[in-house]
Amino acid sequence: MTFQKGDKNPMKNPEIVKKVSDKLKGRLVWNKGLTKETNESVKRISISKLGEKNPMKRPDVRKKFSESNKGRTPWNAGTKGKTSSHNKGLKGIHLNPKNEFKKGLVPWNEGKKGLQVAWNKNKKGIDLSPNNKFKFKKGHVPWMKGKTFTDEAKERIKLARLKQVFPTKDTKIEILIQNELKNRSIKFSTHIPLIGQPDIFIEPNVCIFVDGCYWHGCKVCGFDNALKEEKDRKITEILMQKGMHVFRLWEHDVMRDAVGCIDEIMDGKK
Ligand SMILES: [Zn+2]
């Protein structure tokens, strides 16, 4: 027999396939023609295939067991309430996992060969060697790539960074407003679960936002954030539709005159 180039699978070669099938001709499947009535092996297999995986469910097996157990001391005899050494001195019991105790238990992975396939099976194309770690990054483009800043933009970013206030929990400006409200004994709650999460809410329907100049793109201070501006505008609109009085305070106004800001709100509320 000759292998042709590229013939990796001999079963694809018609010549070989014919030879193999000739060989198999005349062979009988071992259980061909046998039924459970005529053959003991077939009978056993057919019982086990009927879902009778637990032999203790079969009356004949149970009878055998109970007969062989007659006269034995139960494993927990006289050990009521005791949790340790429960098998101490109980010679009649086999605790070896391989003995009949385990009979009837179906292994968790029976018939589940597929579950034990290694995670990287069939993934020959992936090189997992440490030397290859950079290849994994293929397709990942750093956000800066291809972007250049004009001198003007660079200057603006520099300026913005200088003025930037990183908020902790309640920002400094929020606390200024909160303190002023406390001074006037005005009850309020903070960061309530309303759309846009107003920084301060006064019953029944006053929402106060204290907007940081940098983050919210305050044009007075030379910032610009069109996206945020649009988002803020929408939130204001929705809240107003819900019947809220919405006040937006700029950071620079609060810093300059928190008392005046509250005055304005109280006037506007009336
Ligand atoms: Zn501002």
Q: What is the pLDDT of residues 107-133, one digit of tens each?
A: 565 565 555 545 555 555 555 555 554
Whether residue 145 is predicted with pLDDT greater than 90 in this model: the reply is no
The pTM score is: 0.40
Contact (CB, 8 A) for 258 and 171:
no
Distance in Å, CA 18 to ligand 1 centroid: 88
- Per-residue pLDDT at 62 exceeds 90: no
Does the residue 264 lie in any domain? yes
Stronger pLDDT, 36 or 97, i.e. the higher one: 36
- For 108, residues 6+ apart whose C-beta sits below 8 A from its C-beta are none
Report CA dihedral (47, 50, 52, 57) to the nearest 10 degrees: -90
Domain hosting residue 207, numbered range? 172-269
* Long-range contacts, 165-168 (Cβ 8 Å, 24+): 165/212, 165/214, 165/251, 167/212
Q: How far is the CA of 109 from the centre of ligand 1 (A)?
A: 66
| Residue 161 CA to ligand 1 centre (angstroms) | 14
Residues with CB under 5 A from ligand 1 (ion): 213, 218, 220-221, 250, 252
Number of domains in the chain: 1
Q: How far does the centroid of ligand 1 lie from the alpha carbon of residue 121, in Å?
A: 59
Give the CA angle between residues 59, 60, 62 to the nearest 5°: 65
What pLDDT sits at residue 236?
96
Q: What is the largest CA-CA distance in the chain?
A: 105
- Evaluate the CA torsion angle 223, 224, 228, 229 in order and state its sign: positive
Measure 35 CA to ligand 1 centroid, in angstroms: 92
Q: How confident is the model at residue 59 (pLDDT cuts 50, 70, 90)?
A: confident
Does residue 86 register a pLDDT over 50? no
In a domain, 161, yes or no: no
End-to-end CA distance of the chain: 103
Contacts 24+ apart (CB under 8 A), 58-66: none
Cα-only R_g, the chain: 41
CATH number of the domain where residue 189 is located? 3.40.960.10
Q: How far is the CA of 211 from the centre of ligand 1 (A)?
A: 9
User: pLDDT, tens digit, for every residue of 240-266?
Assistant: 999 999 999 999 999 999 999 999 998
C-alpha 218 – ligand 1 centre gap (Å): 5
The pLDDT score that the predictor gives to residue 175 is 92
In this prediction, residue 156 carries a pLDDT of: 77
Work out the average pLDDT over 209-216.
94
How many Å lie between the centroid of ligand 1 and the Cα of residue 232?
A: 15
Q: How far does the centroid of ligand 1 lie from the alpha carbon of residue 13, in Å?
A: 81
Residue 85 forms part of a structural domain: no
Helix (H) or strand (E) holding 201: strand 200-202
Which SS3 state, helix, strand or coil, does residue 161 take? helix
Report the percentage of the chain scoring pLDDT > 90: 31
State the distance from the centre of ligand 1 to the C-alpha of 217, rounded, in angstroms: 8
The answer to the question of residue 262 being in a domain is yes
CA of residue 165 to ligand 1 center, whole Å: 12
Q: How far apart are CA 216 and CA 229, in angstroms?
A: 6
In a domain, 76, yes or no: no
pLDDT level of residue 226 (50, 70, 90 thresholds): very high
Does a structural domain hold residue 119?
no
* Cα-to-centroid distance, 180 and ligand 1 (Å): 20
- Assigned domain for 147 exists: no
Which tokens is 175 given? Answer: 């606390």
254 C-alpha to ligand 1 centroid (Å):
9
Residue 157 within any structural domain of the chain: no
Long-range contacts of 123-132 (CB under 8 A, 24+ apart): none
Q: Which residues are bridge partners to 245 per DSSP?
A: 206
Distance CA 244, CA 29 (A): 84
Please name every residue paired with 200 in a beta bridge, in sequence order, or none if there are none: 190, 208
Q: Which distant-in-sequence residues (6+ apart) come within 8 Å of 17 by Cβ?
A: 11
Cα(262) to ligand 1 centroid in Å equals 17
